[in-house]
A and B are shown apart, each in its own frame.
Chain A
Amino acid sequence: LAKTTQPISMDSYEGQEVNITCSHNNIATNDYITWYQQFPSQGPRFIIQGYKTKVTNEVASLFIPADRKSSTLSLPRVSLSDTAVYYCLVGNTGFQKLVFGTGTRLLVSP
């Protein structure tokens, strides 16, 4: 399984755009990149998934460069409710034992 590296924590203010970058140098050809969001005392929630280039949904955008060795989760105009831990995972089937690192703890302040 490709190992991922992401910042331990990030701080932002309401209304700002937040970009969280994840490094996955050993990503395999058929691996997808998936981001999850976790609030305290809740299970992680799927945010976005991509394979290459750019993916956008109603919550976030995911930017993946051509070499796919990293990816960036972009949260536009964050609010206090975006304060959470964000996990980046890489895998190629639903069966894989996904490894959740410590994630990135995002704190949004007023």
Chain B
Amino acid sequence: DGGITQSPKYLFRKEGQNVTLSCEQNLNHDAMYWYRQDPGQGLRLIYYSQIVNDFQKGDIAEGYSVSREKKESFPLTVTSAQKNPTAFYLCASTLRQGYYGYTFGSGTRLTVV
């Protein structure tokens, strides 16, 4: 079945550490996105990528980095510069042509310990 796989489901990070969240899709979607969600809040866009080897900052990119070396993969690194990284992180993808809506992964819950 096609879909988006995020891993791990839960992640714990120590202060000062970088961690990388994985996002893989087998939907042949062109665009991929990373969102952050805090308790009781909506989703805020961190980074997005429309094609391989290209990506743009979203509304809250500070303290995060991404890469898009393959069409199916869009990993997110939460760096030590992100002062409040504890949140629920969601990856999404969509087709390039037309407007078919987003497909989301099941999310990664990151906690700083």
Binding site for B on A (CB under 8 A): 32, 34, 36, 41-46, 49, 87, 91-95, 97-103
Smallest CB separation, B58 vs chain A (Å): 6
Partner of B48, one of A41, A43, A97, A101: A97
B100 in contact with A94 (CB, 8 Å)? yes
Interface centre among B30, B48, B99 (most CB of A within 10 A): B99
Q: A42-B106, A97-B58 are in contact. Are A103 and B42 (CB under 8 A)?
A: yes
Residues from 66 to 100 in B contacting A, C-beta threshold 8 Å = 88, 90, 92, 94-100
Apart from A34-B99, A100-B44, A103-B42, 20 more pairs, CB < 8 Å: A32-B99, A34-B101, A36-B101, A36-B102, A41-B88, A43-B104, A44-B102, A49-B99, A92-B99, A94-B95, A94-B96, A94-B99, A94-B100, A95-B31, A95-B50, A97-B48, A99-B45, A100-B42, A101-B42, A102-B41
B residues near A (Cβ < 8 Å) are 4, 30-31, 33, 35, 40-45, 48, 50, 58-59, 88, 90, 92, 94-107, 109
User: In chain B, what residue has the closest Cβ to A47?
Assistant: B101
Question: How many residue pairs, one in A and one in B, have C-beta atoms under 8 Å apart?
Answer: 65
Residues B98 and A46 in contact, CB atoms below 8 Å apart: no
Residues from chain B with a CB closer than 8 A to the CB of A45 are 104
Beyond A87-B42, A102-B41, whether A42 also contacts B96 by CB under 8 A is no
Nearest B residue to A35, CB-CB? B101
